[in-house]
Amino acid sequence: MGTGSATHVPGRLNRTRAPLFALLSLAGVLCATQLYADEPPQEPLARFPSAELTIESRGTIHRFHVYIAATEPRRNQGLMFVKKLAPDRGMLFLWEAPQTASFWMKNTVIPLDLLFIAPDWRVIRIAENATPLSLATIDSMGVVTGVLEVAGGTSHRLGIQPGDRVRYPAVDTR
Query: At residue 1, does pLDDT exceed 70?
Result: no
For residue 2, being part of any structural domain is answered with: yes
Specify the number of domains making up the chain.
2
Do 4 and 65 belong to one domain?
no
Per-residue model confidence (pLDDT) at position 2: 41
**Average pLDDT of the segment spanning 2-14:** 39
Question: Which of 59, 71, 87, 51 is closest to 168 using CA atoms?
Answer: 51
For residue 174, being part of any structural domain is answered with: no
Question: Which of 162, 153, 164 is closest to 131 using CA atoms?
Answer: 153
Do 89 and 148 belong to one domain?
yes
Report the mean per-residue pLDDT for the chain.
83
Which pLDDT tens digit goes with each residue over 33-81? 444 445 656 899 999 999 999 999 999 999 999 999 999 999 999 999 9
Please give the DSSP secondary-structure letter assigned to residue 78. T
What are the residue ranges of helices labelled H in 71-110? 72-77
Do 24 and 87 belong to one domain?
no
The least confident of 32-46, 65-79, 121-135, 138-152 is: 32-46
As a whole number of angstroms, the distance between CA 125 and CA 59 comes to 19
Do 126 and 139 form a contact (C-beta atoms < 8 A)?
A: no
Do 135 and 79 belong to one domain?
yes
Sign of the four-CA dihedral 102, 36, 113, 148 = negative
Do 30 and 62 belong to one domain?
no
Burial of 112: CB neighbours in 10 Å, binned 0-12, 13-18, 19+: buried
Sign of the four-CA dihedral 66, 148, 114, 36 = negative
Which pLDDT tens digit goes with each residue over 10-19? 444 444 555 5
Domain that includes residue 91, residue range: 45-167
Question: Which of 48, 41, 60, 136 is closest to 94 using CA atoms?
Answer: 48
Do 66 and 96 belong to one domain?
yes
For residue 173, being part of any structural domain is answered with: no
Give me the torsion for CA of 93, 99, 105, 109, rounded to 10°: 10
Do 31 and 90 belong to one domain?
no
Do 34 and 52 belong to one domain?
no
Query: At residue 174, does pLDDT exceed 60?
Result: no
